[in-house]
Structure 1
Amino acid sequence: MDDADGRRQPADTVVLATGGTPALPPVPGVEHARTLRTRADADRLRADLGPGRRLVVVGAGLVGSEVAATATRLGTAVTLVDPVVPLVDVLGWDLAVWLHLRHRERGVTMVADLVRSITPAASGTGTSLAVEVEGAVLPADVVLVATGLAPVLPAHLDPAPELAPDGAVLVDELGRTSVPGLLAVGDCSAPRALGRSAGHWEAARLDGEAAAAGLLGGSPPARGPSWFWSDRHGHHLEVLGTMADAEQQVVRGTLGEPPFAVLGLRGGRLVAAASVDDPATVKAARRLAGRGVELDAAALADPSVPLRSLLRR
């Protein structure tokens, strides 16, 4: 391995933990937009939000939605641009749409389109940037691009490891790449079973544990469905796995009336869960998924039936 000074460092094993960087769409003028990755990015953005300020957020995923919600709460006029409803594969259509529409309910202007360009506005308009979409120009004091994460890899890897479509290094359950002696963890890696970078903090923690086990000759640690959470507009979202893996979706409670949850089943066994203001259900769902027990859909849908009781059946 060659270091930054060009010196060759001998190693039996190399672990890539080089992280990721905000992915930028190929839009003219995207250099005028901001991204959110570091504490410094957050501090700078926070200083430019508040009453009388206009923010255009490009991308309505987790980061874009959380920023839109926070900026709205601070009195900022927010426009959220995304051509599609986000998180449909993960949450299922009904929950994804309900969650997305909370933005409009809280006063966010929603634009279902692609951004064509970002340009400095003409002098004298009082607007610093202009965001062009189909048939309209959106005025903004600040533009934030939140369209995902791109893995960061060393400039030269020889031999080169096999990559996922998103450019992350494909790894097995112990973080091993297709190159013997080369491991990868975190945002620069992609589990083969998933085919892309997991992109959540819990995944990064588990990646490290798995790679350490591999380095020490141990077995891969137990790893259930992925889990993450997000807060927006006063609601707490928790997600286990992905509804894309489910054959059947069961609503626990009433969809659209928090607290409620959607549980995904395949072959009668729980493979996914998503809750709004109901973290206890997802906590129990993690145990149900880990046990792999066959479940009754009617019992799952009934909030009066404690999920922990289903573990004893």
Structure 2
Amino acid sequence: MRNLKLQRSGPYLVMAPGMLLLLLFAIYPFIFLLTISFQEYSPIQAVKPFVGLDNYAQLAKDHNFWNAVKVTGIFVISTVGLEFVIGLALAVILNQLKWGQRIFQSIILIPIAMAPTVVGLMFRFMMNEQYGVFNYFVELLGFSRTAWLSDPQLALPALILTDVWQWTPFMMIILLAGLKGIPDEPYEAASIDGASAWQSFRYVTIPQLSKIIIIALLLRTIDAFRIYDTIYMMTKGGPINVTSTLSWIVYDKGFKFLEFGYGAAISVVMLILVVSILMFVLRKIDLFDMGGRS
């Protein structure tokens, strides 16, 4: 009888540590975040009055919030799109290499082994108007020096370039793994039918790789929404808020102006926005039924 009880409770005992960690580091922080988003919460105030939906109502009138939504949208679409195109091209090239594949792969993966703060600082020095290497090459081409990070028209593209440099290898390695999992038979059948290299890529590679592509895009989209470290090291949200993303204004409101309640409300809206995008995409591609059909 005791052994039977132990057998039944065994799976729950094994899951208990993981569930406890999930409760401590995911569920409780989210409940706390949601709670303070309905308060005028500040660490310097003894009383944290309940304000209901006032923080959320304030968002609707906050120009900085809507600017951050626009900047985040431009940043996410640009970075994820470029990283996918370049990453897919690199994955296809590496997959065709007969020798030196591991060496080139190791070299290309170096950027994702670096901390975002280090990458941000490195590109900040490289884009310096006075002694940066970017302006050295600009002058070699006969153009004048450019203020990459203080020019409102160039600051966001500079940030996008930095993110693309660091995270394209991440996209590449996922797509390369997917390419290696495609069997040879469909390509052999396409070759017998007289398909060209482009037709094989369009009608064999892309359909076989479609689920991997969606997973890679979703992972990078989630991560791109959270960008903060690189912005802090390179532009600090400027100039004139052109690189101020949702993650940046959460920091700005919460830790600079100590408006924790308002910052929490922005975080909740950001979470809802990300989850809504992901659920929309997952429904469209029917990824929930991924294991049942192919």
The answer to which structure, 1 or 2, has the higher relative contact order (CA under 8 A, 6+ apart) is 2
Q: TM-score range by the shorter chain?
A: under 0.3
Structure label with greater radius of gyration: 2
What TM-score results when the alignment is normalised by the length of structure 1? 0.20
What TM-score results when the alignment is normalised by the length of structure 2? 0.21
| Higher helix residue share | 2
